[in-house]
Amino acid sequence: MNHVLLIDDDVELVGMFAEYLEQEGFRVACVHNGDDGARAALGGEYAIAILDVMMPGTNGIEALRRIRAGSRIPVLMLTARGDDADRILGLELGADDYVAKPCTPRELTARVRAILRRTQATQGDGPGALITVGKLAMYPEQRRVTWDGVPVELTSTEFNLLEVLARQAGRPVSKNELSEQGLGRPLARFDRNIDVHLSSLRHKLGPLPDGRSCLQTIYRQGYQLIRE
């Protein structure tokens, strides 16, 4: 699964990225508008989509909204440097990560590899790898989650982060560790990725019997998945 979908209206930039990715062993398809990009991403042919926020017509945010309505394909957003509003909105809508433009092809490729490495890391696990914490059940081989027997739809990155917390349930996990293990990269200064993804997970997972969220922020230590 190394087929990459590049969605960006900047033809010259897309050509440069595509050439570098292909040299690194990826197959690349390029689309230059949000409508066609969303349709292609929903087709099931690609391992990951790289989606630019700023496009005329259907922009990247709307395209992401359409993709997430029907697919959990990993999505890496390309955002303007310093544009925190689009970046956070993209993460809240289900983007897995972002790269700020301008960026180098090498940086983009490294981020793609990190996402795919985490997404595909559990493919060799056996069925005995089930993880349970209270009402939470995780099936790493299938990348499937249930809460009290009810399926929970997670993005690739949300699954990765929850798996890290579930394997260490009952103890705080630092944001640095979550970024390294869940995103596949060191935590950058002022990076709010982890916070946004964990906020989304809180909304998707059920409460504990006493009404608290099962995901707790531990002051100056990180996040903790509570054992019942």
Same domain, 156 and 79: no
Same domain, 72 and 46: yes
What is the CATH number for 10? 3.40.50.2300
- Cα 221 from chain centroid (whole Å): 23
pTM of structure: 0.83
**Which secondary-structure segment (H or E) carries 131?**
strand 131-133
What is the CATH number for 211? 1.10.10.10
Which of 78-82, 88-92, 163-167 has the lowest average pLDDT? Answer: 78-82
Query: CA 144, CA 113: separation in Å to the nearest integer?
Result: 22
**Percent residues over pLDDT 90 in the chain:** 72
Which of helix, strand or coil describes residue 53?
coil
pLDDT for 119: 77
**Which secondary-structure segment (H or E) carries 137?**
strand 136-139
What domain range is 85 assigned to? Answer: 3-120
Question: Which among 101, 120, 139 is the end of a domain?
Answer: 120
Say if residues 67 and 75 touch (Cβ distance below 8 Å): yes
User: Who has greater pLDDT, 44 or 120?
Assistant: 44
Residue identified by tokens 């995780």 is 138
Same domain, 113 and 8: yes
Same domain, 37 and 52: yes
**pLDDT digit string, tens, across residues 126-166:** 444 789 998 999 998 888 999 999 999 999 899 999 999 99
Pairing between strand 3-7 and 48-52? parallel
Same domain, 112 and 8: yes
Mean per-residue pLDDT of the chain: 90
Say if residues 179 and 185 touch (Cβ distance below 8 Å): yes
Question: Which among 85, 120, 155 is the end of a domain?
Answer: 120
Same domain, 160 and 221: yes
Question: Which among 55, 90, 120 is the end of a domain?
Answer: 120
Same domain, 217 and 152: yes
Same domain, 162 and 220: yes
**Which secondary-structure segment (H or E) carries 217?**
strand 215-218
Is the predicted pLDDT of residue 205 greater than 50, yes or no? yes
Beta-carbon contacts of residue 211 (< 8 Å; ≥ 6 apart) = none
User: Who has greater pLDDT, 190 or 89?
Assistant: 89
CB atoms closer than 10 angstroms to residue 227: 12
Say if residues 132 and 226 touch (Cβ distance below 8 Å): no
Q: In this structure, what token pair is assigned to residue 124?
A: 């060799």
User: Who has greater pLDDT, 24 or 1?
Assistant: 24
Same domain, 92 and 151: no
Q: In this structure, what token pair is assigned to residue 20?
A: 């570098």
Count of structural domains, the chain: 2
Is the predicted pLDDT of residue 125 greater than 50, yes or no? no
